[in-house]
Structure 1
Amino acid sequence: MTTLKMFFVLFLMAFTLKASAVQQFAKQPASIQVVIGLERVVLECVITDKIGELIWLKDGQILGSDLDPGLSGVPRYSIIGDISIGEFNLQIEDVVLADDGHYECQVLAGTQGETTLRSSPLAKLTVIRPPISVSVDNSPTLSAVEGKAISLTCRGLQGNPPAQITWYRDEQVVGGAAAYSTEVSPNDASGKLHDAKSVLTITPTLNDDAAIYVCHVINDALNEPYKAIIDLDVQYAPVVSIEISHEIIKENMLVTFNCVATGNPNAMSYAWYRNDVIMSGATEAQLERTMSKNDNGVTFKCVAMNAVDSREATVTLNVHFAPFFTTYPEDISVDYGEQAIIECAADGNPKPTIKWTRLGSRATLSTMNRLQFDNVKDGDVGIYMCTATVTGFGAEAHYARVDINGIPIIESKDVQCVEPGDTAQIDCFTDTKPDPMMIEWNWNDGEEHLETGSAFERFSAQKSTTKHGVRSILYIEETSDEDFRAYNCTIWNEKGSSWLIITLTPCEMDMIIFIIIGVVSSSVFILVAAVMVIICFKRRYNRRKKLTLNEEEEVDDDEDDEKKSVEIIKRLSDYDLTKEEKERKYREYNNYKNSPESTRSSHDRYAVPTKIMRKRWNSWDSYDRPPSRGARQNYGSYSRRHNDYVDPEYLPYRGRSRHDCAERPRTLPRYRDDDKIRNADYQRYSEYRNNKYNKRDDKLKEREWIKKREDDVESGRKAEPDDVSKHSTESTHGNLATDV
């Protein structure tokens, strides 16, 4: 019972509260932005204690009510939500630009007289859209001229909301006033799309050439901005500079000037100026010039021109040059004890240093332009040198002489000569200061006189002034004996006069010429003698060398061959020859002897060991012994013959092409104990051997010898020397020698 009472009380209370509740908004629609083309957007509307009908309106126009949640009259629109909790949300599918507007949720009054509910403020549905086109006028490259203002225009078309535009240069925001404006797109019937424009005005400079300007365009529909780029091509006048090939420029140096110019456009012309005076022919970017000291401090200018304008660059030269004197030191002559001043001045680059010295001394007297003597004395007389020096160049020097005024002193020779018939030149010189006023010549005891600068007949006097003094020369043409006499030279100056007697004589050969001739003659004689001695020793040396070489060649044969010596000995005679062989040899000899000398060999043709020959001499008789053309010699009881003929094959040939066979006197005994006798014999032997004209006419003896040999052959007689076999057995190869 108690439970039923409580349930009844609660039911009554709920009914009472419901009957007294008022409908109201739990959540009203809120403004929202959506991107065009979004699939779905929802505008929320929640009502508590809803009693009346709920209506959705757009821009004041009814879309539909909760009685028709599908909103059949409006495609893509519908009312969704949980009605039990009062949700009556407006859903829009496939959002288009036409959906942009103000939306309102209303609840009509109920049956019990409730008021109509309206959402406030109105919910603004904004359909945003990015610009369909972003561009910069005159892109991608805009030509401009330096110093002339240009405008850069960036456009963002048909965007909602209107696009915001920002300018960048080399990734940096461009400050300044860029004109920004928007307008409704003329091609949009809805009037919801806008065109944005930004105009940036700049004055291009040289630094703007090839600069990149970027236009950033963005609105709420974009996460990243759209970009449009424009590149500036700024045409500007040339930027000019001058480059010089040498850092330090010196006089007489070839220097190259380069005019370096950059500009837009690049086509340029050039002109060069020297101290604002145009240089003809200098129309290239490079200029070559040999420097002189006159170019120091000069301004060279290069003017480069293109289509925009012309520009110039200048350079002022600092030319180093050698010193040169602008004021030369001059000779000075003062009275004894007076003041003397010598001055010099020099120019150069860098500035030259001045130094005064006395000729012959290294001591520096002054480094100023002026050298001053307060009280001139005899010791001050001399030549002084002013030297100007510039680093990197040679020194320049000039001289001045300091003299003391006095009576002229004549310094010429008192005896002068000339060749008879030539023009005589009699010299009269003085270096005394002050300079002479007059110089006069007289001769023949003063009867003849001639002033310098005048002439008569064959005589004339001429004056010449040099830095070192004054000279007067008396010329006498076609000198004769009567002109060789004494001449008086008299000189006057401000201090007085002096004279000198000069004797003119015929010139004789100077002793020095004799000495030179003697030395040259002696040198020539010694040279010729030395050459002759060298030639003689050279010939003698070659002759001995040839003899030695031929003997050594034969000695070097095989030492162990004893049979060779025996065969050589046997070949010295005709024992083993037949009659036919002997006749053939005689014919060969006659043919050889009658042949012209030019066809005969100049080499050793018949080489026979000398030692073997010497051993045979004492053993052969007068018939078999190898003879030579010489006189008979007697050695005690043994008689040697030297006039017998021998076949050339068996004779040692001496190498003389003008002889048929060797000529060798057999005067040397085989053994001698006395060295002096042996040397004397060898001397006589050498003298005879070297005499190429020692030939004898022995035709008769040759015929007798030939007849005798033929008779012996026919009779079968053979001469066999007793010592042949003995010599053959005793001889060794070591005893062989070549008789050259």
Structure 2
Amino acid sequence: MGLLRLSLILWTICAVRGQEYTIQAQDELLIERKIGESVTVEATVTPPVPNDQLSILFWSIRSLGRVPLNSNDTNLLQTYNPVTGKVSLTVRSLQKSLNGTYILQLFDAVNAKYAHSATINVVVLVPPSSSSIQGGDVHTAKAGTPYDIVCQAFGSYPEVEISWLEGSIETSESQQTTAVMGVDKYYTTTNTLTITPTMAYHGREYTCVISGKQMDDEQFITSTLNVQYIPVVSIAASSPPPYAELPYQTENTEVTFLCSADAQPSQITWKWFIDEEEIAGETSNTLTYSSVSHTLNGKDLKCEATNSAGTGSKTHKLNIHYAPRLTSSLDNLEVDLGSRVDLTCETDGNPTPSINWVRADKPEAIITGSTRFTIASITMADIGSYQCVVTATGFPKVVHTVHILLRAPPKMHGTTGASGSRELEEYSYSQGQTAVLSCSADVVPEYTDVIWTKGSAGTPINFAPDSRFSKHVEKSVHGITTMLTIKDLATTDFDDYNCTVVNALGSDSALVTLSQTDDFPWKWVVVGAVIAVVIAIVMSVAVCCCRKKYQNKTSSAGSLSVVSNTTDNSTKKPTDCMEQGDASSLPEYGLRPIDVWKNNQDTNATPYPATDSPIEDGKPELYGSYRVNTMGTSFKPHSAYPTENYGSYRVQHPRNDLHHAPQYSTLPIRPSMLPPNEFNRFSYDNELNDDEFPEPPLEHRLATNV
């Protein structure tokens, strides 16, 4: 190729009759053209040879053995100018076969002049016949393992250039290019891109870019990277969903752990482990505890996910919150004065509990905030109950009580009698019943015996299995309660009983009396008396209700009349109740010396005359409450009422509604109902609107017999 860039002038000198000819090639001795383009090569013969003397003039390609090019080939055009001696050859469309070194030859047979020659190199630029990325459009690589992507271009002349794009950006990954010429003199160019993918590379596109001067445009070949990577695992917990990275779980609640994984390929098998021990049967990505236990606290929960690329896992340290609990025993202490006492309250819980020691009778006063409480020398003031108060966030406080008990002989409960023994309560039963007698004592240390005797002589009681007597002991913190049971009481059983409690330091006794109850049924007498009183009260109330005056309803519109209803007063009783009826049921008579006042609260109101005539026209000002005075025309007190004023009176209520029959309110007036200075009031409330006839105030109605 370097020779093509040198200016070659081949001089062929023949001494024929003293004439010399030269052929000088054009200045451009190396011509590059793309395949399909046209090219022209030229040379000049000096001196020019006339056409009639020129017998041989042709172009040949050295690689073809200097054989003249086919002058009949239409793709070739050869011209000669005998004046200037310029010879040209034009190739209209270059093909791969026309690539090579062009030589011009001539021979003047007439003058017996030999030919001279010159060479011009014509290079046909050939694009790749094919190109590709080895392995196809999708490349599968394993994360963390170096992987080569190879791009090749075949059959080009000269070699092409190959580069890579990662997405749309030129990659900085390592690459290497080689070019190899084949026997056909054309090149195969190879570029190898080496990458070490991570899971982030999955789905990336890598593009091979092929370019060269023999190509009109760049060529792009794209391949997608499929990165296989082991599962990247995470663990979340839920109670209930949605799932989240919970800081803790609470004991005795249902908790589901969810294992998630980002993996390629996505086909995954699952396993669960507690402290590296596989949990049998758990092969899904969820693990459920219906009631999570505090025993799991602090253990490692691991989820393992496996695909074809490998195995990934995630470990979660379980944080189970649970209520504080005592881990050391807190037993009651039996002590002697002056001895040393150490109390220890060891607890467990999550969150870590805090501990305070307090006196049971003063829980607000903290003695110490540590787990250990020491009294160097016990005094009487130290005897009592102490509490270890354990608290933890999110849980109720836990209180553990320990009693410091003074060692001493038993001490019976009750008062000291004249005999010096303890006297307890007296028990009373009837003959034939079952009696239960009891006595209690403070006993520290524990009792060794409980003795029951009967009577002043201290007769031992037979507790044989078939006996009517049995005893029972119930223990408490400070002592015991013993019970003596006697079945089917007989007369001889009613006596004093002695209860004695014994321990290692001594004994104490108490006296219990069993007496016989009086069988007279006093309680039934009392019950009967109470029932009789209740009946009397009910009857009195009924009589009072019967004497109550009730208000009556309205009648025809526009009139008011007060009519005497004469009756046989001799048949009327003071307790007769008021009756109701319409106009047809009561004969109408004059009012006699009875007057009616408008507005029962106005003592100075002008009375309406005591006649049978109705008050006409239904004037609204006549509506309201009325008062009937049975003492005559004034309110002057009378010491007695004429008997002719006694009887029943009815009031015909005014209405504007003419479609309803009149109704009446009947008022009995008797001496028992009309004490001196009293008067009766009427109110309108039935079938009348409240705004038409308002009801009188309650205190006014209660103050009369109406």
TM tier, smaller: 0.5 to 0.7
Secondary structure of the 1:139 match is coil
Q: 55-64 vs 327-336, which deviates more? A: 55-64
Distance 1:475 1:301, change over 3 A: same
1:356, distance to aligned residue in structure 2 (A): 0.9
**Distance in 1 of aligned mates of 2:223 and 2:358:** 79
Q: Which one of 209, 214, 221 corresponds to residue 221 of structure 1?
A: 214
1:327, distance to aligned residue in structure 2 (A): 1.8
**Distance in 2 of aligned mates of 1:363 and 1:55:** 129
Q: What one-letter code is carried by the residue in structure 1 that aligns with 2:647?
A: Y
1:438 maps onto 2:449 in alignment: yes
**Gapped regions of structure 1 (runs ≥ 5):** 1-18, 65-69, 186-190, 560-564, 573-600, 618-666, 692-739
State the TM-score, normalized to the length of structure 1. 0.62
Match of 2:286 in 1: 286
**Distance in 2 of aligned mates of 1:385 and 1:36:** 105
Q: Which one of 378, 386, 390 corresponds to residue 388 of structure 1?
A: 390
How do 1:213-252 and structure 2 match up within 5 A? 213-245=206-238, 246-252=246-252
Distance 1:613 1:446, change over 3 A: closer
Match of 2:40 in 1: 42
Q: Which one of 479, 483, 489 corresponds to residue 489 of structure 2?
A: 479
Distance 1:435 1:75, change over 3 A: same
**Distance in 2 of aligned mates of 1:134 and 1:296:** 63
1:685 maps onto 2:647 in alignment: yes
Q: What one-letter code is carried by the residue in structure 1 that aligns with 2:469?
A: F
Secondary structure of the 1:394 match is strand
State the TM-score, normalized to the length of structure 2. 0.65
Match of 1:341 in 2: 342
Distance 1:102 1:20, change over 3 A: closer
1:220, distance to aligned residue in structure 2 (A): 2.3
Q: Which one of 137, 141, 153 corresponds to residue 140 of structure 1?
A: 137
Match of 1:449 in 2: 460
- Asked whether the 8 Å contact 2:66–2:103 carries over to 1, the reply is no
Secondary structure of the 2:446 match is coil
Q: 54-63 vs 457-466, which deviates more? A: 54-63
**Distance in 1 of aligned mates of 2:344 and 2:207:** 77
Secondary structure of the 2:295 match is helix
**Gapped regions of structure 2 (runs ≥ 5):** 1-17, 239-245, 415-422, 566-578, 595-628, 651-665, 669-705
Q: What one-letter code is carried by the residue in structure 2 that aligns with 1:503?
A: T
1:59 maps onto 2:62 in alignment: yes
Match of 1:606 in 2: 584
Q: What one-letter code is carried by the residue in structure 2 that aligns with 1:36?
A: I
Q: What one-letter code is carried by the residue in structure 2 that aligns with 1:448?
A: T
- Asked whether the 8 Å contact 2:48–2:84 carries over to 1, the reply is no
Q: 358-367 vs 397-406, which deviates more? A: 397-406
Q: What one-letter code is carried by the residue in structure 1 that aligns with 2:285?
A: A
Give per-residue Cα distances to partners, 1:45-102, cap 9 Å, x unaligned: 57888899997553276588xxxxx994665445679988886554332222222112
Give the helix-richer structure, 1 or 2.
1
Q: What one-letter code is carried by the residue in structure 2 that aligns with 1:437?
A: T
- Asked whether the 8 Å contact 2:447–2:501 carries over to 1, the reply is yes
Secondary structure of the 1:606 match is helix
- Asked whether the 8 Å contact 2:325–2:347 carries over to 1, the reply is yes
1:223, distance to aligned residue in structure 2 (A): 4.6
Give per-residue Cα distances to partners, 1:142-200, cap 9 Å, x unaligned: 45666788764434233222444334443443634557464538xxxxx2444445565
1:489 maps onto 2:490 in alignment: no
Q: Which one of 366, 369, 373 corresponds to residue 368 of structure 2?
A: 366
How do 1:651-670 and structure 2 match up within 5 A? none
- Asked whether the 8 Å contact 1:24–1:50 carries over to 2, the reply is no
**Distance in 2 of aligned mates of 1:241 and 1:302:** 8
1:460 maps onto 2:457 in alignment: no
How do 1:578-589 and structure 2 match up within 5 A? none
- Asked whether the 8 Å contact 1:142–1:231 carries over to 2, the reply is yes
**Distance in 2 of aligned mates of 1:265 and 1:45:** 69
Percent identity, please: 23
Match of 1:260 in 2: 260
Match of 1:154 in 2: 151
1:681, distance to aligned residue in structure 2 (A): 5.2
- Asked whether the 8 Å contact 1:332–1:402 carries over to 2, the reply is yes
Match of 2:509 in 1: 499
1:100 maps onto 2:108 in alignment: no
Match of 1:299 in 2: 300
**Distance in 2 of aligned mates of 1:104 and 1:433:** 138
Distance 1:277 1:415, change over 3 A: same
1:272, distance to aligned residue in structure 2 (A): 3.6
- Asked whether the 8 Å contact 2:256–2:286 carries over to 1, the reply is yes
Q: What one-letter code is carried by the residue in structure 2 that aligns with 1:428?
A: C
1:127, distance to aligned residue in structure 2 (A): 0.8
Match of 1:651 in 2: none
- Asked whether the 8 Å contact 2:76–2:92 carries over to 1, the reply is yes
How do 1:411-422 and structure 2 match up within 5 A? 411-412=413-414, 414-420=424-430, 421-422=432-433
**Distance in 2 of aligned mates of 1:558 and 1:489:** 94
- Asked whether the 8 Å contact 1:28–1:44 carries over to 2, the reply is no
Give per-residue Cα distances to partners, 1:474-530, cap 9 Å, x unaligned: 333333332232233333334333333333334689xxx99xx99x99899789958
Q: What one-letter code is carried by the residue in structure 1 that aligns with 2:31?
A: I
- Asked whether the 8 Å contact 2:21–2:116 carries over to 1, the reply is no
1:258, distance to aligned residue in structure 2 (A): 1.5
- Asked whether the 8 Å contact 1:270–1:304 carries over to 2, the reply is yes
**Distance in 2 of aligned mates of 1:523 and 1:299:** 78
**Distance in 1 of aligned mates of 2:222 and 2:536:** 104
**Distance in 1 of aligned mates of 2:491 and 2:115:** 171
Distance 1:196 1:433, change over 3 A: same
Q: Which one of 163, 178, 203 corresponds to residue 210 of structure 1?
A: 203
**Distance in 2 of aligned mates of 1:254 and 1:683:** 91
**Distance in 2 of aligned mates of 1:683 and 1:370:** 100
**Distance in 2 of aligned mates of 1:344 and 1:265:** 56
**Distance in 2 of aligned mates of 1:168 and 1:273:** 45
Match of 2:125 in 1: 128
- Asked whether the 8 Å contact 2:153–2:160 carries over to 1, the reply is yes
Q: What one-letter code is carried by the residue in structure 2 that aligns with 1:154?
A: C
Give the strand-richer structure, 1 or 2.
2
1:391, distance to aligned residue in structure 2 (A): 0.8
1:676 maps onto 2:686 in alignment: no
Secondary structure of the 1:438 match is strand
Secondary structure of the 1:356 match is strand
**Distance in 1 of aligned mates of 2:645 and 2:84:** 170
Secondary structure of the 2:395 match is coil
Secondary structure of the 1:337 match is coil
Superposition CA RMSD, Å: 5.2
Distance 1:134 1:26, change over 3 A: closer
Match of 2:316 in 1: 315
Q: What one-letter code is carried by the residue in structure 2 that aligns with 1:399?
A: T
Q: What one-letter code is carried by the residue in structure 2 that aligns with 1:544?
A: Y
- Asked whether the 8 Å contact 1:63–1:73 carries over to 2, the reply is no
Q: Which one of 427, 435, 440 corresponds to residue 429 of structure 1?
A: 440
**Distance in 2 of aligned mates of 1:137 and 1:527:** 117
**Distance in 2 of aligned mates of 1:226 and 1:416:** 119
Give per-residue Cα distances to partners, 1:211-240, cap 9 Å, x unaligned: 323222233212532122223444554433
Secondary structure of the 2:233 match is strand
**Distance in 2 of aligned mates of 1:479 and 1:687:** 75
Distance 1:394 1:668, change over 3 A: closer
Q: 146-155 vs 214-223, which deviates more? A: 146-155
Max Rg structure = 1
